[in-house]
Structure 1
């Protein structure tokens, strides 16, 4: 299946702020929406509902899956992957070290996803 609808660009700073203000609830919304958009675009991947369930049960696993799915979208276009499942390793120490790794992970993954959507014509 080829490229479908283009996803939404979500500001990294605003997303982090929403995550903090909602005490983490926005993280689940972000996972649902981004995975829904990636699946609609490529025809592959988890999709929103399944991403939500996995994130709710074992969030650290989603760090690897999300980064991998974003990287695969680049790969499908014949481009080098800016993120991959290995990027998920930033998430693990972030759970224990004041969240620094979580922020690094999110900046890398959301940034790569935003750049992909922009390159497909999504408004910034």
Structure 2
């Protein structure tokens, strides 16, 4: 369900294509995080449209919500060791104009789900 992406190549493709690949990456990450967290929210394409309409301000909200969604996905799988929500970090990076770094961190978390490292239930 979750596609593991090479983070370095994704970042390079985003820079080389002047952000075009970044749009695709944004949409995929959004859809995968929603599927993992079983959260209701704007699909990847709709989130991208909201980001355009709000001149990028929705992107800040999106970054924060991605932290929430990834945390929800961990909790749904019974991951007991993780209690940190990285949404604030993603938000700060985005506000500072370092959204690509947020993408990298979010994709690293998604890759952990795709590799099956977080899929097993941990009992307390």
1:16 paired residue number = 11
Q: RCO higher in 1 or 2 (8 Å CA, sep ≥ 6)?
A: 2
Relative to structure 1, the CA distance from residue 38 to residue 105 in structure 2 (aligned partners, 3 Å threshold; closer, same or farther) is closer
Q: 1:92 aligns with which of 71, 90, 95?
A: 95
Match of 1:3 in 2: none
Rg comparison, structure with higher value: 2
TM-score normalised by L of structure 1: 0.72
Offset at residue 110 of structure 1 (A): 1.2
Q: Following TM superposition, where does structure 1 have runs of at least 4 consecutive aligned residues deviating by more than 6 angstroms?
A: none
Choose 112-121 or 11-20, whichever is displaced more.
112-121
Q: Which runs of 5+ in 1 are unaligned?
A: 1-5, 96-100
Query: Shift of the alpha carbon at 1:42?
Result: 4.1
Which consecutive unaligned segments of at least 5 residues does structure 2 have? none
Given that 1:64 and 1:85 are in contact with CA atoms closer than 8 Å, whether structure 2 keeps it comes out as: yes
The whole-number CA distance in structure 2 between the counterparts of 1:13 and 1:82 is: 24
- Tell whether the 8 Å contact from 2:5 to 2:111 is kept in structure 1 after alignment: yes
Tell me what 1:53 maps to.
Answer: 49
CA-atom RMSD, angstroms? 2.3
Q: For the residues of structure 2 that align with 1:45 and 1:22, how far apart are their CA atoms?
A: 31
